[in-house]
Amino acid sequence: LLVLLILIYYRKCISMNESIPTDGVYMSDSNTNVKDAPAFHENPYCKALNNAKDIQFDHADVEGNAQNGPVVSLSFASLFDALGTCLKDESSVLLLYSLVHGNCDFQEYVLVRTDLDTLLMPILEMLYNASRKTSNQIYMLLIILLILSQDSTFNASVHKLVLPSVPWYQERLMHQTSLGSLMVVVLIRTIKYNLSKLRDVYLHTNCLAILANMGPHAHRLSAYASQRLVSLFDMLSRKYAKLAELKNDKALKVTPDQMEADIISDDTSTELHIYTDFLRIVLEIINAILTYALPRNPEVVYAVL
């Protein structure tokens, strides 16, 4: 698997003034403005993975797509099940990311599966244990969820799939909770961990983007997930109020070192702007649930009240 990933992500860099073969003929690009701008040869292994088809795919369609070269056929069902059993390995996560991001057919296959918990439960467990993961590992997991959450069918499916129990969740016993509710809880937990430890703005943005995609499709969100969502807004609003007060105090305070004071003020303003965006997104998430899915989410109403 590691060899496959190396082959997939290997890129041979060439300079733009080097002759590049086109249909077997080397041609120079006379229209290039930047003489030594970097370019990359097409990676055949990456192309093969991105164009791979399900072995159950219609044979006539495979032959029709073979005009651009031979097509790799895989058993998507076996691949799906295998990835679900070994996602705790970082290389398996990278392979799943590569397939979901680059192979439209595999992405569509995942989205129509009714047992989404096969893939999502290991991903959520790894996010739950984010303190043991690197920021790059967390990013890959979140990007996978972000890509999947862009599909409305996926968002509807995760809220209808009920889990009998979640044995790895230690803070609270979770019985008969939906996969969607568990996703909300784990994503909010990841945001709070990031606020206290990593303080990575883009990680926040990805988590909130997933929640925003899920919001309009929320269905019977659990009481615990609803409380976590409202508590996230409360936590961010308190942090925002604290930063706003700090900025006002520094604006009124006279200091002999004005340059240092300006730098501190700029840092505070930047952080204040970031929290403003976070609060806006959380409000949009809650508003989307109340606007598009109010009758199906009484627990959200109770949590807001």
For the cut 50, the answer to whether the pLDDT of residue 10 exceeds it is yes
**Residue percentage of the chain with pLDDT more than 90:** 62
Phi and psi for 105 in degrees, rounded to 5?
Answer: -65, -40
Answer yes or no: are the C-beta atoms of 236 and 278 closer than 8 Å. yes
Query: Is 252 exposed, middle or buried (CB count within 10 Å of its CB: 0-12, 13-18, 19+)?
Result: exposed
3-state secondary structure of 84: helix
d(CA 106, CA 54): 8
To which H or E segment does residue 21 belong? Answer: strand 20-22
Calculate mean pLDDT across residues 30-40: 49
Answer yes or no: are the C-beta atoms of 55 and 76 closer than 8 Å. yes
What does 222-275 look like in DSSP terms, one character per residue? -HHHHHHHHHHHHHHHHHHHHHHHHHHHHHH---S-HHHHHHHHHHHHHHHHHH
For the cut 50, the answer to whether the pLDDT of residue 25 exceeds it is no
d(CA 247, CA 60): 66
Going by pLDDT thresholds of 50, 70 and 90, the confidence category of residue 160 is very high
d(CA 18, CA 145): 40
Instruction: Please give the mean pLDDT across all residues of the chain.
Output: 85
pLDDT of residue 38: 56
d(CA 220, CA 160): 9
d(CA 187, CA 210): 8
Calculate mean pLDDT across residues 230-236: 96
- Rg from Cα positions in the chain: 24
* Amino acid at residue number 198: L
Going by pLDDT thresholds of 50, 70 and 90, the confidence category of residue 33 is very low
Task: Read off the pLDDT of residues 42-51 as tens digits, 9 standing for 90 and up.
Answer: 788 889 999 9
User: Both tokens of residue 123?
Assistant: 């991903």
